[in-house]
Structure 1
Amino acid sequence: MNPRIALISATPAAIPPAVSALATGFPQARPWNILDDRLLADVGQDGRTPALDDRMRRLIDYAVAGGADGVLLTCSLYGEVTKQVDAPVPLLAPDEAAFDEALSSGHTRILVVASLASALSDSTARFEQAARDKGITVEVGGLLAPDELVETCRARGDGWDLVLLAQYSLAPAAEELAAALGVPVVSGPRSAAARLKAAIGK
């Protein structure tokens, strides 16, 4: 039986890139979309709350109880919640695999790109922490591209060895961006699909 992969999303925009990445990188997988479109809207100025984390944990429990063979969170803001759950199946934070891929690439000047300021600051801080945790020295930059992603990166993204996309919604532009900049572009959905395939192996 083909493995069921639960995709827990906080915005509808994250769903197509995640489903597309599974279709390409883990075609045996059957995506199961679970959406709570208030998970982002309910985050206030102080960020996530214990109540919101609990809501995400309940969604993870729901996915596991429903027969998921693997669970992927598609909202980077809730990635830390995966550390609070002892799941009986592979459970991935949105950019866990992407961070690992970027840090194991051998590139030392990495540009984090986002379309939202909150996503840029959050992803940049967590990526820098991931590098410190692994004892890897990298120079990390940040670029905010609220629209015209490729054009903005072409104009302001020179001099970097690798681009890390901070949001799932930006993943569809990865190949075009790589061609425009001439450097590798790492996106969460593609890296996560590869990690899930390796972990589940069906």
Structure 2
Amino acid sequence: MAPAVAGLAEEFPAAEPWSLLDDRLLADAPQDGPLPPALVDRMRRLIGHALAGGADGVLLTCSLYGSVTETVDTPVPLLAPDTAAFERALALSSGTGRVLVLASFETAMRDSVARFSAASAASEASAASAASVAAASARVGSAVAAPAAVGSAASGSGAEVVGVVAPDAFDAAREGNLPALRDALRDACLPHLTGADVVLLAQYSLAPAAASLSTALGVPVVSGPQAAAAALRSALTGSPL
């Protein structure tokens, strides 16, 4: 939760963080497959507790539980940990570039790759749909359409997603050793860096190294806490991202 609080301090300093913790949610999560209903209910109850306490917005901080936000209707903004980060990474890659999804353990990497790939496909489908609507409108309004522009907008194949695991980063993040964390993440990325447009950090625990890792690699590094805090600020105040 500390990276989430730090992200709010950086991107949304007017926010008043309130941290709620079930410290068994990650330990009890399965290594593979969907979350059991009992764990989904536990997270839903935690969200409900935040709402009952008057929260103006809710941000989950464990990527494995991001799907729970799709099952809860709330009167306030409810963000999965990395939805905003996915959107930022897609924007930086123009939706069709190469994105490295970086994690400190395999399960987190596979989960984030699957969800980011789904987000990329949805973004591509939305763009194609919008292009089709624009083309139909052009045909109705004019005898001369612009098929070349429409074809370009609809022909993207989505972002190329490459999952990367940096196992040495796990202990470095847990110990708060920022130089070791940066070095572990950098070394894991380097063999895959050619042609990469952006690095997407799959876990909040890796966020403290985002800025130094971007400098070391020479490419943008997107972290969930900063992206989510900016999205909350925009949702609650109307300010631009």
For normalisation by structure 1, the TM-score amounts to 0.89
Give, as a single letter, the amino acid of the residue that structure 2 aligns with 1:19: V
Distance 1:156 1:103, change over 3 A: closer
Give, as a single letter, the amino acid of the residue that structure 1 aligns with 2:165: L
2: CA distance, partners of 1:86 / 1:130 = 20
1:138 to 153, 159, 162: 159
1: CA distance, partners of 2:214 / 2:36 = 37
Pairs within 5 Å for 1:149-164: 149-164=185-200
Matched, 1:117 2:93: no
* Matched residues, number: 188
Structure 2: runs of 5+ lacking an equivalent = 125-155, 169-183
Q: Which has the larger radius of gyration?
A: 2
Partner of 2:29: 43
Deviation at 1:41, TM superposition (A): 1.2
Matched, 1:187 2:219: no
3-state secondary structure, aligned to 1:141: strand
Structure with the largest fraction of strand? 1
2: CA distance, partners of 1:44 / 1:125 = 16
The sequence identity of aligned pairs, in percent, is: 60
Structure with the largest fraction of helix? 2
Provide the alpha-carbon RMSD of the alignment: 1.4
Matched, 1:88 2:75: yes
3-state secondary structure, aligned to 2:35: coil
2: CA distance, partners of 1:116 / 1:40 = 13
1:29 to 3, 15, 38: 15
Higher relative CO (Cα under 8 Å, sequence separation at least 6) belongs to 2
Runs of 4+ in structure 1 displaced over 2 angstroms? 44-47, 150-159
Tell me the alpha carbon deviations over residues 51-87 of structure 1, each in whole angstroms, 9 at most, x when there is no partner: 1001100100100010101000000110010010000
Deviation at 1:32, TM superposition (A): 0.4
For normalisation by structure 2, the TM-score amounts to 0.75
Structure 1: runs of 5+ lacking an equivalent = 1-14
